């Protein structure tokens, strides 16, 4: 999958010698080890708290734009027999 041209945080943009964390910014993955019981009780946030790691801030979301000509009504696929019938009219 290729990144959008205007998305500066893509992993594909990391050059040799660059820090992945510096390029990816808020999208840089963070992980901690966690006991199953801790996760079941409080989810991923409890795991970060137990590991004494700051909870990563959510990146700001860019507004979504609709493509021109986008239909607002969702169209459902017809069953195969209905499509075949319509083609042979």
Q: 86, 54 in Cβ contact below 8 A?
A: no
Q: Does the pLDDT at position 14 exceed 70? A: yes
Query: Is the predicted pLDDT of residue 10 greater than 90, yes or no?
Result: yes
Residue 44 structural domain:
24-56
Return the structure tokens found at 27.
């999208």
Residue 12, pLDDT score: 92
Q: Is residue 79 part of a domain?
A: no
Q: Is 28 a domain residue?
A: yes
| Angstrom distances, CA of residue 22 to CA of 1, 9, 38 | 21, 9, 30
pLDDT of 81 reads 63
Q: Where are the alpha helices (DSSP H) in 1-89?
A: 20-24, 36-50, 80-87
Residue 63 reports pLDDT greater than 70: no
- pLDDT tens per residue across span 74-88: 555 666 665 555 555
Looking at residue 85, the DSSP 8-state letter turns out to be H
Picking from 24-28, 34-38, 67-71, which range would have the lowest pLDDT averaged per residue?
A: 67-71
Residue 72 counted as domain residue? no
The answer to whether residue 7 sits within a structural domain is no
Question: Does residue 62 form part of some domain?
Answer: no
Place of tokens 């999958």: 1
Considering the domain boundaries, does residue 48 fall inside one? yes
Q: How many domains does the chain have?
A: 1
């Amino acid at each position: 999958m290729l990144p959008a041209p205007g998305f500066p945080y893509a992993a594909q943009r990391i050059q040799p010698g660059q820090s992945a964390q510096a390029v990816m910014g808020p999208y840089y993955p963070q992980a901690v080890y966690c006991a199953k019981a801790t996760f079941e009780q409080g989810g991923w946030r409890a795991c970060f708290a137990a590991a004494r790691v700051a909870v990563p801030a959510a990146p700001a979301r860019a507004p979504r734009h609709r493509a021109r000509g986008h239909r607002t009504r969702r169209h459902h696929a017809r069953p195969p027999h209905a499509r075949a019938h319509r083609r042979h009219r």
